[in-house]
Structure formats: structure tokens, C-alpha cells
Amino acid sequence: MRGLIAPAIAAVLTAGCAASGADRPFIPGGGEGGPAAGASATTAGAAPRTETLAVDSGLKVIVEWPGGITAEHTEMLETFRDAYVGMFKGVVTRGRDEHYMTLMELEAGKTSFEWVKKYVDKKRSVRGTARLFGLKVSSVQDRAAQVDVCVDETQVRYVDARTGQDLPAEPGSDDESVYLQSAGVHQGDDGNWRIKLFRYAELTNERAKGCRR
């Protein structure tokens, strides 16, 4: 989600996640070819898979799931995936679909709502294909965790929401089309994971070097 996270917000992560993990360079798949931290022996042999989700007739999201992740880590990453897809649904429905808000806590919900509203106010929508890869749970402490996901939006285009015609990309957007999106997630009393806070790093950032390919 290009431009979702302001620099001031990007410097902070949800309370409860280990700071040492947040500062390490991100390496998709856990690094060194092994499973993500905390993966159990029973899931380490699970095969990678690719999932395609249609946001609408003109936009889809491809998710490259890694192998060897636990069921709990999968739930955390699915929360991010559903929020990412849900926010784009908010855009293409011109703000009518707000289901993504149920996947957020207060601060992330406010930031996400404002991101969708920016598209709606400018009468913009999107089409094309977004890709999520390098999905990883990089830090867990009690009922809080950090998830890291590489995002490739090089095939996503701005369109006029009224006519469907392509619009020029915003200045500098090409340089931000592949990036690392991190999210602090928190498990509520109902057992569901929700996003508490986002952070964002471009490829020039050391944390995002694992997203280059």
C-alpha cells in the first residue's frame, strides 16, 4: 500500500514485540534457507504454495506462501493478507466496503481508513496485480507479534474511478512499488489477531533488502 505509512509512524512498532527483532535486516523465509523462528518440526516440511485472490474484476492479489510455518503464524499472516486485500476492496468500492476495519485496532484502523479515503476523495481506483511474498513472523512475545511481508505493486495502476481510464502515476511512485510492509499484530480476548500498527521500509532501507529479487 504505497504511501500508507507516514515516516513518523514508521519509526514505531507495536508494544510487546522484541526490539532486537524489529531492527534486524529482513530475510524472507527465515534466512539461511530454514523455517521462520518458532516453526515446529511437524510443519517444517509443509510445501510452499501460491494463492490468488480477486479483489474485483480488474485487480487481484497473489500471495506466495512459504513452507514450514506453524498454524499460529499462519493466522497472523492471514490477518495481514486479509487487511491488505480488504483495504483495496475499500478503494475499488469507493469506500463502501469497510470490512478491513474489523481486522484493525484503533491506530491502524485510523491510518487505514485515511489511506482508503485519500483514493476516494481523489476519485481514484486501481487495477492490475499486486504480489505478497517473503511472508514471515519475525518476532513474538506473549499475545503480540511482528509480521514482515514483501509487497510488489509494480503491476498495479491508478485509474479514474468514474471512467476506468488509466491515470499517470504519482511522482516517485515507481521507486516505492516494491517495499517491505511490517505490521504489529495483537491477539484479542476473542482469540482473533488484529493489526495494531503498520510500518514501512523502501528497498533502500537495510530492513527491506530481503525484498530485492
Please report, for the chain, the start and end positions of each structural domain, with discontinuous segments joined by +: 49-210
Q: At what angle do helices 71-92 and 106-121 cross, to 10 degrees?
A: 30
pTM of the full structure: 0.80
Taking the C-alpha atoms of 7, 11, 16 and 22 in order, what is their torsion angle to the nearest 10 degrees? Answer: 120
What is the pLDDT, as a whole number, of residue 188? 96
Identify the DSSP state of 168. Answer: P
Encode the chain (213 residues) as per-residue pLDDT tens digits: 654 443 333 333 333 333 333 333 333 333 333 333 333 333 444 789 999 999 998 999 999 999 999 999 999 999 999 999 999 999 999 999 999 999 999 999 999 999 999 999 999 999 999 999 999 999 999 999 999 999 999 999 999 999 999 998 766 566 689 999 999 999 999 999 999 999 999 999 998 989 998
Hey, what amino acid is at 91?
V
Nearest 5°: phi and psi at 129? -135, 125
> CA gyration radius for the chain?
17
Provide the pLDDT for residue 44.
46
Q: How many CB atoms lie within 10 A of CB 158?
A: 20
pLDDT in the model for residue 49: 95
CATH 3.10.450.50 fits domain 49-210: yes
* Whole-Å CA distances, 57 to 9, 80, 137, 158, 177: 33, 22, 31, 15, 21
Residues in the chain: 213
Cβ partners under 8 Å of residue 121, min gap 6: none
**What integer pLDDT is reported at residue 174 of this predicted model?**
63
Q: Which of 55, 57, 32 is nearest to 164 (CA)?
A: 57
The per-residue pLDDT for 46 is 73
Element (H, E) at 108: helix 106-121
